[in-house]
């Protein structure tokens, strides 16, 4: 499946709904972007929560585990810089 989309002034593109559905991309999900010599590959990432569901005993899960994990990693990274 191939479509043509416009790149806006900030470098953003809109991935059409039928392509997002085919790739099983979810709103709010994350993607990996890889640059090749003459192309760009966008690959959806498996949600962190789905990958580790049931692996840990947690009394109360955050509403958005992916966002929670990103924030924890940012705080850890900042603490390592000092």
- For the cut 80, the answer to whether the pLDDT of residue 49 exceeds it is no
Whether pTM > 0.85 for this model: the answer is: no
Question: pLDDT at position 35, please?
Answer: 95
Per-residue pLDDT band at 77 (split at 50, 70, 90): confident
- Of 30-34, 45-49, 62-66, highest mean pLDDT: 30-34
CA 42 to chain centre: 10
CATH code of domain 1-45: 2.10.260.10
Q: Give ranges for CATH 2.10.260.10 in the chain.
A: 1-45
């Amino acid at each position: 499946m191939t479509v043509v989309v416009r790149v806006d002034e900030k470098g953003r593109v809109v991935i059409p709904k039928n392509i997002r559905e085919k790739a099983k991309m979810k709103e709010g999900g994350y993607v990996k972007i890889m640059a090749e010599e003459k192309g760009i590959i966008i690959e959806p990432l498996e949600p962190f929560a789905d990958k580790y569901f049931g692996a840990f005993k947690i009394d109360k899960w955050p509403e958005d585990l992916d966002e929670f994990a990103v924030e924890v990693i940012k705080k850890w990274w900042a603490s390592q810089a000092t």
